[in-house]
Copies of this chain bind each other. A is one copy, B any other.
Amino acid sequence: MHARGKVYVEGSRPDVRVPFAEVGLTGDLPPVRLYDTSGPGSDPEVGLPPLRGPWIAERGDVAPVRGPGTPLAGMDGRRPTQLAYARAGVVTPEMEFVAIRENVDPELVRSEIAAGRAVLPLNVNHPECEPAIIGKAFLVKVNANIGTSAVSSSVAEEVEKLTWATRWGADTVMDLSTGKRIHETREAIVRNSPVPIGTVPIYQALEKVGGDPVKLSWDVFRETVIEQAEQGVDYMTVHAGVLLPYVPLAVNRVTGIVSRGGSIMAAWCLAHHEENFLYTYFEELCTLLAKYDVTFSLGDGLRPGSIADANDEAQFAELRTLGELTKVAWEHDVQVMIEGPGHVPMHKIKENVDLQQEWCHEAPFYTLGPLTTDIAPAYDHITSAIGAAMIGMFGTAMLCYVTPKEHLGLPDRDDVKAGVIAYKIAAHAADLAKGHPGAQAWDDALSKARFEFRWEDQFNLSLDPETARSYHDATLPAEPAKTAHFCSMCGPKFCSMKITQELKEYAARGMKDKSDEFISGGSRVYLPLA
């Protein structure tokens, strides 16, 4: 078998079945197993099977909110969160699942969650989700944003983008839909998603008040959060750190407030001259999220939108507040991650992570890029993959992708793929730099295939086998070239890899003493292949 297949590794119970992509290699070489986010495949009309159904039910801490068949929520006095279980010393099936997935000890998973250093965003109403852990001790994760907008796109298109994004390796997906049909779009996405789904509830709340931020209120927001939590959203961005006194800090920036949620809350604060209601009602919000095990993604409403605004007082003031809120959420057994920038030049990236880790008590960091320069619209998947790789190396747990359309338009299918792949590269480069156990095995397998001219293995092991194969075929299309011991760069005569292979054979025969024999034997090291 030379192509990719899917295999499942069973855990301590038969319903803990963890998927891996398996790449078969040529000859007698053992297959290579890779982390796999593509899910079991779904019929969009039916949705995915409820993998976690039994695990959620058997804990006996949730019940339908309005009778049989309605969404689940924690029973009175119960907090059905993975954080609560981790703190109680329980390794849930979800934790065992990710331990197998990451090839680590389940106790590491439990203890990192218990300490708040990792999150397992898994709403009790999203049983279709294959658990994925987000924390600096684990593989760096990638999020892909999708969603309808007021300007364009349909529900079916968004579900297709979801499937497409997870096919290429997105670990979570955020549904950022605005405009009409927000509820319907989200329902279709959650039911078909094998990965955790995130949202920004303030977008829908704003729709509910006719698009006027001043009319927003805690009540409208609360109702929106319940609606989304009942649908199964796994994590929610909440801009509770955009405080009234911080807003003036952003006014003299080059690009002011670029977060949509941040600007909405800033407008509300100023219009009412009152403190952000997400901050004043934060404890009540924690109580709510705890009932569904929705994870907080504390939004960075004042993130920098340009190189000029990076690491400024506006951003850092908000970050300190997010640290305070993290502790409040933890008191309620609610999981927390912290969102980060944005646009940051390379020399300021480490400071960002270090301060976030210090001020937010090591809660996982989840950053948008950052873009390392502003000069390349249409290539911001690249400007930001540079920053993403670095911020991942310094300890960021999840990277929110940026597509080539950033700042210019809505990502289509090709943009989603380009964004996910650029970010899988950044995440894996960070895993290597962090010395994540096993990360380099993938690189080594591919490089060995390259060195041994196993072209099909090289293609199949690559992040995007189809494109790699098509690029090879563009220059050397003939089928025999797939097994040729050279490539189109050097051609058959000067191939450096071929020469080194022959050096190896030479060395095996005793390199230092045998040069005479070598030459009299035909100097095979350099001979053209014919």
Which residues of A are interface residues toward B (Cβ below 8 A)? 149-152, 178-179, 203, 206, 211-214, 247-248, 250-251, 253-260, 262-264, 266-267, 270-273, 305-308, 343, 345-347, 372-379, 381-383, 385-386, 389-390, 393, 404-405, 407-410, 412, 421-422, 424-426, 428-430, 432-435, 440, 442-444, 446-448, 450-451, 458-459, 461-464, 467-468, 471-472, 474-476, 487-497, 499-501, 503-504, 506-507, 511-512, 515-516, 518-519, 523, 525-528
Contacts and interface: CB of A to CB of B under 8 A. Distances in A.
A373 B140 CA distance: 14
Given A256-B501, A263-B496, A374-B447, 7 more contacts: A150-B492, A263-B500, A305-B451, A308-B440, A346-B393, A375-B446, A410-B488
A167 to B, nearest CB: 16
A168 to B, nearest CB: 11
Given A211-B493, A254-B451, A260-B490, A425 B528 contact: no
A516 to B, nearest CB: 8
A194 to B, nearest CB: 22
B376 A463 contact: yes
B307 A432 contact: yes
A519 B308 CA distance: 31
A419 to B, nearest CB: 11
A429 B373 contact: yes
A496 B308 contact: no
A433 B251 contact: no
Contacts of A382: 381-382, 385, 421-422, 425
Contacts of A468: 377-378, 408
A114 to B, nearest CB: 29
Given A376-B425, A432-B372, A491-B150, A307 B440 contact: yes
B178 A494 contact: yes
Contacts of A512: 248
Q: Which 10 A-B pairs have the closest CB atoms?
A: A256-B500, A150-B491, A409-B475, A306-B447, A263-B496, A273-B515, A346-B433, A372-B429, A374-B443, A263-B499
A377 B467 CA distance: 8
B271 A500 contact: no
Nearest to A432: B345
Contacts of A511: 247-248, 251, 270
Of listed A150, A272, A409, A512, residue having the most chain B CB within 10 A: A409
Of listed A262, A425, A511, residue having the most chain B CB within 10 A: A425
Contacts of A389: 346, 372, 386
A435 B434 CA distance: 27
B378 A471 contact: yes
Given A346-B393, A430-B346, A468-B408, A373 B503 contact: no
- Where chain A touches its partner, the secondary structure class is helix
A198 to B, nearest CB: 17
B447 A523 contact: no
A507 B150 contact: no
Given A373-B432, A450-B255, A503-B257, A211 B475 contact: no
Nearest to A446: B374
Contact of A409 (B250, B451, B487): B487
A490 B178 contact: yes
Contacts of A149: 488-491
A422 B383 CA distance: 8
27 contacts: A150-B491, A211-B528, A214-B519, A248-B512, A251-B504, A251-B507, A254-B447, A256-B504, A258-B496, A259-B496, A263-B496, A267-B499, A270-B525, A308-B447, A346-B429, A347-B432, A372-B429, A375-B461, A376-B462, A377-B446, A377-B471, A378-B462, A385-B385, A405-B474, A405-B475, A408-B488, A409-B472
Contacts of A528: 211
Given A266-B499, A376-B464, A447-B308, A515 B347 contact: no
Given A446-B374, A525-B270, A507 B408 contact: no
A475 B415 CA distance: 13
Of listed A151, A373, A385, A468, residue having the most chain B CB within 10 A: A373
B515 A308 contact: no
A386 B347 contact: no
Given A212-B526, A471-B409, A503-B270, A444 B254 contact: yes
